[in-house]
């Protein structure tokens, strides 16, 4: 994943860009969560990366999740919370796809 991809999706240092993939994701996540965007979810994770420009060290790569990385830790926690699998539309799959 690159900082450019995250910013092109609408996650920027100045916030989420209106009308972007990021704003659509934020809206969907807020509706699914009853009105708020949860900490640690796809929107907040990607926005943090977009604001800081830290995607290069996150562990989400074009060849998959890097072992021992932040991405690996997120994937492990998410799989444990969902009985062993990583759900489609969850943090790991959404961030990895971008």
Torsion angle (degrees, nearest 10) of CA 48, 30, 94, 86: 110
**Predicted TM-score (pTM) above 0.85:** no
- The pLDDT of residue 1 is 55
Same domain, residue pair 77 and 40: yes
- The pLDDT of residue 16 is 93
Look over the chain and give the mean of its residue pLDDT values, rounded to a whole number.
84
- The pLDDT of residue 60 is 81
Number of domains making up the chain: 2
Same domain, residue pair 71 and 42: yes
12 falls within a domain: yes
- Per-residue DSSP letter, 2: -
Distance of CA 93 to the CA centre of its chain: 8
Strands 15-16 and 60-61: unpaired
Query: Low-confidence residues of the chain, pLDDT below 70?
Result: 1, 55-56
């Amino acid at each position: 994943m690159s900082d450019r991809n995250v910013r092109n999706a609408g996650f920027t240092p100045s916030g989420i860009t209106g009308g972007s993939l990021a704003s659509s994701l934020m809206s969907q996540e807020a509706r699914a969560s009853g009105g708020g965007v949860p900490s640690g979810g796809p929107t907040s994770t990607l926005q943090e990366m977009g604001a800081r420009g830290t995607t290069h060290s996150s562990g989400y790569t074009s060849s998959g999740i890097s072992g021992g990385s932040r991405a690996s830790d997120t994937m492990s926690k998410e799989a444990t919370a969902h009985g062993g699998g990583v759900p489609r539309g969850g943090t790991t799959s959404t961030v990895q796809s971008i």
